């Protein structure tokens, strides 16, 4: 097997693992269910939804940090030196930015539900 074929196989495996992990992380994110959000009528309901959004924000921040660490690895590692290295690091940096943005939006949603909690009887 040529060096190029081995490199291509390596990147294919990394991609498949990354996609699988992204789906697993999304499935594990503790964001509130549609039922909880739609059914939030009382102060306690809104507080519970806000707490779930805050947990989701924390998970998204942790995910962002993980991707920043991976980007550092790909920038400095001999693994995949050449064409794919910077693309892989860039991919991780983009995922970190997306996770940071998701965390900000979860915090905004939590604030909205905390505000709603003060307005209901």
33-44 per-position pLDDT tens digit: 888 888 889 999
Read off the pLDDT of residues 47-101 as tens digits, 9 standing for 90 and up: 999 999 999 999 999 999 999 999 888 888 776 455 555 578 888 999 999 999 9
For 46-74, give one letter per residue: b (16+ CB within 10 A) or e. bbbbbebbbbbbebbbebbebbbebbeeb
Cα 55 from Cα 113, distance rounded (Å)? 14
**CA 53 – CA 103 distance, rounded (Å):** 9
**pTM, entire model:** 0.69
Burial of 25 (0-12, 13-18, 19+ CB in 10 A): middle
């Amino acid at each position: 097997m040529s060096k190029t074929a081995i490199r291509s196989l390596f990147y294919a495996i990394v991609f498949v693992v990354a996609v699988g992990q992204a789906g697993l992380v999304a499935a594990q994110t503790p964001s509130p269910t549609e039922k909880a959000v739609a059914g939030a009528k009382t102060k306690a309901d809104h507080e519970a939804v806000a707490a779930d959004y805050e947990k989701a924000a924390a998970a998204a921040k942790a995910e962002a940090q993980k991707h920043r660490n991976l980007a550092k690895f790909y920038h400095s590692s001999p693994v995949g030196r050449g064409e794919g290295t910077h693309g892989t690091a860039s991919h991780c940096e983009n995922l970190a930015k997306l996770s940071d943005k998701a965390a900000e939006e979860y915090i905004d949603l939590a604030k909205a539900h905390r505000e709603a909690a003060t307005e209901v009887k």
